[in-house]
């Protein structure tokens, strides 16, 4: 079983992060590590995570590095710890227990897949976006995403601007 490292980015999101971690503890896949990258929180997040989830690795950046900067810290840690796959999660995400097993099943059935994006459902709205599978060049991937967005009946103006 390949090692999957799940990276959760946190900045002053104690309650959301604890809820996210609770859902990650219910995963049906067993070869994974959870890393929380904390972007300089002052709300007691780090202490609460360390107290409740002893197996979770907490990386403190000491400052808010933003979304990309914080995730880059986590990705570098994952690569340094022999991750075969990396999963980036927002801290306000609640995952299905089969998230990793289903995702790896998709990757294993088509070795051209380089990137997966999951289907997200918002608990306060019926709007969702489709599964994004990146297998080709950036332009082809953008077109694939646009097709998926159209299939899920979402407005595609923003993506059309990105492509043209």
pLDDT digits (tens, 9 = 90+) for 52-84: 999 999 999 999 999 999 999 999 999 999 998
Average pLDDT score over residue span 26-49: 97
- CB within 8 A of 117, min separation 6: which ones? 131, 132, 133, 134
- Domains of the chain, by residue range, sit at 1-95, 110-164
Identify the band that residue 123 occupies on the pLDDT scale cut at 50, 70 and 90.
low
Instruction: Report the length, in residues, of the chain.
Output: 164
pLDDT of 122 strictly over 70 = no
Element (H, E) at 108: helix 99-109
Identify the band that residue 36 occupies on the pLDDT scale cut at 50, 70 and 90.
very high
Identify the band that residue 100 occupies on the pLDDT scale cut at 50, 70 and 90.
confident
Handedness of CA 32, 37, 42, 46 (dihedral sign): positive
At residue 26, the pLDDT reads 93
Residue 38: both structure tokens together: 């904390």
At residue 54, the pLDDT reads 97
At residue 58, the pLDDT reads 98
Residue 129: both structure tokens together: 């976006």
- What CATH architecture does domain 1-95 belong to? Alpha-Beta Complex (3.90)
pLDDT of 156 strictly over 90 = no
Residue 90: both structure tokens together: 């927002």
Residue 151 or residue 18, greater confidence: 18
Handedness of CA 65, 67, 69, 73 (dihedral sign): positive
DSSP letter at 40 equals S
At residue 98, the pLDDT reads 86
Identify the band that residue 115 occupies on the pLDDT scale cut at 50, 70 and 90.
low
Query: Distance (Å, rounded) from C-alpha 34 to C-alpha 99?
Result: 14
């Amino acid at each position: 079983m390949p090692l999957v490292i799940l990276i959760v980015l946190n900045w002053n999101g104690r309650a959301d992060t604890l809820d996210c971690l609770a859902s990650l503890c219910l995963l049906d896949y067993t070869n994974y590590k959870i890393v929380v990258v904390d972007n300089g929180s002052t709300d007691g997040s780090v202490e609460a995570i360390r107290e409740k989830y002893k197996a979770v690795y907490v990386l403190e950046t000491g400052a808010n590095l933003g979304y990309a900067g914080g995730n880059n810290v986590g990705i570098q840690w994952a690569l340094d710890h022999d991750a075969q796959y990396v999963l980036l999660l927002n801290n306000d995400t609640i995952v299905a227990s089969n998230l990793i097993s289903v995702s790896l099943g998709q990757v294993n059935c088509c070795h051209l897949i380089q990137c997966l994006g999951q289907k997200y459902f918002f608990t306060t709205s019926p709007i969702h976006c489709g599964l994004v599978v990146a297998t080709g060049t950036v332009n082809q991937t953008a077109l694939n995403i646009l097709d998926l967005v159209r299939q899920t009946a979402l407005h595609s103006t923003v993506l059309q601007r990105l492509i043209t």
